[in-house]
A = this chain, B = another copy of it.
């Protein structure tokens, strides 16, 4: 069993001012190598190539989610303490599980998460559970607290834990994870539209029999949160320029995969161009937790730096584009432009670029309010309000704004191509080719903001 710290430790945090660490267990978890690794994984990955302020790591987000969980559970304990089982109120014995789950919920995130998961067929949520259950410091610290604790934390992350209050605080339409990352990303990008009234929302949260509800007096603060989230997706997370960088990264790593396969097939000596830390990624076997934890942003970035000198022209070129921030350009795919994409690909090939590496069709999709991941077959979750007379109402029944965007996917499909295709200089030989290309895309009126 753990004990309270004699003096709480505080971490200065720009979003929540201070993170209050009051338990030896929480302090010990923060001090594990697995948790410290989160300092070496950026929260927003490549988005900082557009929003240069947003270079923050997952470490801050994780302690931030913890801090919100700590505040909510303190509030619940003070005002909604359960008197008897099944009364729908808050059982203070769930406190430690909740704050620890909040702290550890993103432990499995690796470098450039989405690209990584896609290419190497991993899943950060599964990896989080593996780290919690595996041969790690995290597991040893949790087990020392109580033998069944790793398993309980893993079940909260997996959303299978029996108490829906705990599960929904960590993962739902309005959980400590989302609240922290929206505020944090808004702060670091400098985009004001991501702000909302976190204090008000925390005060209006209520435990209930089915999980978490909100007092009707917090309706407008929740509405503001949904609108903020909607705007952050459209303007930050879907930004076409950072997606133009992501495409380069993905193609670059795919090229490494292919070169590595060729090298192995040919028994080349060159197998080690990925070095000891990256090598496990390219063996074809499943990554061990130990190997996974050694790979952070720095490792990728250092190798991309070296690959600038690689003899393969595509790999070295893509590495240089990536490091020197030369994103692929893009146009929106819509009924007007869709029909021309094959021609565009041909023109790109004619200009000497392999379309497999220099073009892409990329969708950005989000449901601003409905379900966490519309592609997954998860049950719908909703934000519920409790009215003064005790009855419940769902958010979109109360808010015209939310009703307007509810269940309506924000979709931005784009075709990416090299900026060189737009070149206008005195390029005699390919002048006609560039003119053709530009003429195809001139109707794309919804061009990227700012850049």
Binding site for B on A (CB under 8 A): 9-15, 17-18, 31-33, 36-37, 39-40, 48-49, 51-53, 55-57, 59-60, 63, 187-193, 195-197, 199-200, 203, 216-217, 219-221, 223-224, 227, 230-231, 234-235, 275-277, 294, 296-299, 301-303, 305-306, 309, 320, 323-326, 387-389, 391, 400-401, 403-405, 408, 442, 445-447, 449-451
Contact = CB atoms under 8 A, between A and B. Distances in A.
Contacts of A323: 33, 36-37, 40
Contact of A297 (B298, B320, B401): B298
Contact of A404 (B13, B188, B403): B403
Given A17-B199, A193-B224, 10 more contacts: A9-B450, A11-B52, A12-B190, A14-B188, A39-B325, A217-B449, A275-B306, A299-B305, A400-B404, A401-B401
Q: How many copies does the complex hold?
A: 4
A212 to B, nearest CB: 18
A14 B306 contact: no
Q: Which 4 A-B pairs have the closest CB atoms?
A: A404-B404, A14-B190, A302-B302, A298-B301
Contacts of A306: 275-277
Contacts of A60: 52-53, 55
B63 A17 contact: no
A192 B197 contact: yes
Contacts of A217: 449-450
Contacts of A196: 192-193
Contacts of A391: 445
B197 A193 contact: yes
13 contacts: A10-B203, A18-B203, A33-B323, A39-B325, A52-B63, A53-B56, A193-B224, A195-B195, A220-B449, A296-B305, A298-B302, A388-B445, A389-B442
